[in-house]
């Protein structure tokens, strides 16, 4: 695949992986993207995951058409992109390794070698002349590792964005970008909104016509759509109007109450009601929806004088990612000492700009007329 006349795609698709980073379900696999810029000097942009290094090297050799690369640009040292460095270095012993100081430290840790005699260190504002292409390096610390750099090619106006603008899913599977990009962003990058905002400000000064991420498709059209979503996500803004209900239950009574609330909201004209059973559905999907909508309802029973474990874990996922700027409703249950509402509020107490909606719906074992009335009142308060 040619990105431009001089830039070629040499990445691979992985349909062997079941859990990306050991935790994210990826039914459509993953893409490990890599690119080569053909000019007077040749630059290779990142490598591949260790299980696909032979395929990646074959893709690179085909793209080179008998030439040899001058540089390997290492933008990110996470192993799904850097596992091929040793194989590249062995195959092309004259090529320089281009990256920043933090990357070379991590290279030594991961590979036992930092290629000291082949290093070409770069930093913010550094450039690398290839011929008609000049590469401009942009540091992107903590998006989402400390060593990350991005690279702008001023000839073809391409931003090589490291993990930025990436998504789950291999490139030989067609699917909507936003859903898996959102799940990827909030799962992996979500904590670092401030750092993403800083990089977006740098990007705004560049004339970008193509974005080449390390995961997911190359983005060429309607770039404003992707940039606007990243701005919303990284500023913890509201992407979609509606209410997200995250529920869990022991014997079904709390779940029944949560579903009744969903029915009430729909009947009263809520534009969108999203719902998840935290015990049965993908936790990363639930995290994604919690950040997508501006209003959320947490429904959980009391358990061991605290809150049911799936809800505790869910809220931990949110607070680990700087959850903020949201309106929160509570449904609690407890047969003799309802405590889950208090505990859920406490777990969110350090989050910024959280507004709790009254009333708190309290069940004692099962729904009754009083708790049904509270659910109706909560629906009104959320609209």
CATH of the domain at 256: 3.40.50.360
The model's pLDDT over 238-255, given as tens digits with 9 standing for 90+, comes to 999 999 999 999 999 999
Q: Does residue 267 share a domain with residue 122?
A: no
Q: Which band of pLDDT confidence, cut at 50, 70 and 90, is reported for residue 1?
A: confident
- State the Cα–Cα distance between residues 23 and 26, nearest whole angstrom: 9
Residue 27 has what pLDDT? 96
Domain that holds residue 81: 7-234
Average pLDDT over residues 364-375: 97
Residue appearing with tokens 């989050």: 351
2 found inside a domain: no
- State the Cα–Cα distance between residues 321 and 343, nearest whole angstrom: 19
Q: Does residue 79 share a domain with residue 56?
A: yes
CATH of the domain at 111: 3.60.15.10
Estimate the crossing angle of helix 223-234 against helix 177-184, to 10 degrees: 30
Estimate the crossing angle of helix 283-292 against helix 309-320, to 10 degrees: 60
DSSP 192: G
Residue 31 has what pLDDT? 98
Q: Does residue 109 share a domain with residue 73?
A: yes
90 contacts: CB under 8 Å, gap ≥ 6: none
223: phi then psi, degrees, rounded to nearest 5: -60, -25
Among 171, 203, 234, which residue terminates a domain?
Answer: 234
Q: Which band of pLDDT confidence, cut at 50, 70 and 90, is reported for residue 106?
A: very high
DSSP calls for 59-97: HHHHHHTT---SEEE----SHHHHTTHHHHHHH-TTPEE
1 found inside a domain: no
Tokens for 253, please give them. Answer: 């009574």
Among 234, 269, 288, which residue terminates a domain?
Answer: 234
Q: Does residue 252 share a domain with residue 224?
A: no
Residue 65 has what pLDDT? 96
Tokens for 229, please give them. Answer: 């979503």
pLDDT at 80 over 90: yes
The model's pLDDT over 179-216, given as tens digits with 9 standing for 90+, comes to 999 999 999 999 999 999 999 999 999 999 999 999 99
Strands 127-129 and 134-139 turn out to be antiparallel
Average pLDDT over residues 8-23: 97
185 found inside a domain: yes
Q: Does residue 265 share a domain with residue 200?
A: no
Q: Does residue 313 share a domain with residue 215?
A: no
Average pLDDT over residues 59-70: 98
CA neighbor of 316 nearest in space, from 294, 342, 347 = 347
Q: Does residue 177 share a domain with residue 59?
A: yes
Q: Does residue 164 share a domain with residue 27?
A: yes
Question: What number of CA atoms fall less than 13 Å from residue 63's CA on the CB side?
Answer: 28
Q: Does residue 65 share a domain with residue 16?
A: yes
Average pLDDT over residues 307-327: 98
Quote the number of domains for the chain.
2
CA neighbor of 75 nearest in space, from 130, 4, 131, 126 = 126
Q: Does residue 298 share a domain with residue 218?
A: no
pLDDT at 330 over 90: yes
CA neighbor of 215 nearest in space, from 191, 181, 238 = 181
The model's pLDDT over 133-178, given as tens digits with 9 standing for 90+, comes to 999 999 999 999 999 999 999 999 999 999 999 999 999 999 999 9
Q: Does residue 299 share a domain with residue 211?
A: no
Q: Which band of pLDDT confidence, cut at 50, 70 and 90, is reported for residue 233?
A: very high
Q: Does residue 252 share a domain with residue 215?
A: no
- Calculate the average pLDDT of the chain: 97
């Amino acid at each position: 695949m040619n990105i431009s006349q001089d830039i070629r795609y040499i990445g691979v698709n992985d349909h062997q992986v079941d859990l990306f980073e050991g935790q994210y379900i990826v039914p459509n696999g993953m893409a490990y993207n890599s690119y080569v810029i053909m000019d007077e000097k040749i630059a290779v942009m990142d490598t591949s995951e260790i299980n696909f290094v032979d395929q990646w090297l074959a893709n690179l050799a085909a793209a080179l058409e008998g030439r040899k690369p001058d540089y390997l640009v290492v933008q990110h040292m996470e192993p799904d992109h850097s596992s091929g460095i040793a194989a590249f270095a062995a195959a092309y012993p004259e090529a320089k390794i281009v990256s920043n100081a933090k990357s070379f430290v991590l290279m030594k840790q991961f590979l036992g070698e930092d290629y000291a005699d082949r290093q070409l260190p770069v930093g913010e504002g550094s450039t690398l002349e290839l011929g008609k292409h000049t590469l401009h390096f942009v540091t992107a610390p903590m998006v989402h590792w400390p060593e990350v750099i991005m690279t702008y090619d001023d000839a073809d106006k391409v931003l090589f964005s490291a993990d930025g603008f990436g998504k789950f899913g291999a490139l030989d599977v067609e699917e909507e970008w936003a859903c898996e990009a959102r799940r990827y962003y909030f799962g992996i990058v979500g904590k670092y909104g401030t750092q993403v905002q800083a990089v977006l400000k740098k990007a705004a000064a560049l004339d970008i016509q193509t974005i080449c991420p390390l995961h997911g498709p190359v983005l060429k059209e309607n770039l404003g759509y992707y940039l606007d979503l990243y701005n919303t996500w990284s500023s913890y803004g509201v992407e979609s109007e509606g209410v997200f209900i995250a529920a869990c239950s022991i014997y079904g009574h709390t779940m029944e109450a949560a579903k009744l609330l969903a029915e009430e909201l729909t009947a009263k004209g809520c534009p969108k009601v999203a719902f998840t059973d935290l015990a049965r559905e993908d936790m990363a999907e639930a995290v994604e929806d919690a950040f997508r909508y501006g209003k959320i309802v947490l429904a959980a029973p009391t358990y061991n004088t605290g809150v049911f474990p799936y809800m505790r874990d869910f809220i931990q996922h949110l607070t680990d990612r700087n959850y903020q700027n949201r309106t929160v409703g509570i449904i609690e249950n407890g047969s003799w000492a309802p405590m889950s509402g208090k505990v859920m509020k406490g777990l969110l107490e350090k989050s910024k700009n959280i507004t709790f909606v009254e009333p708190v719906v309290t069940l004692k074992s099962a729904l009754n007329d009083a708790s049904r009335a509270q659910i109706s009142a909560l629906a009104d308060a959320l609209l």
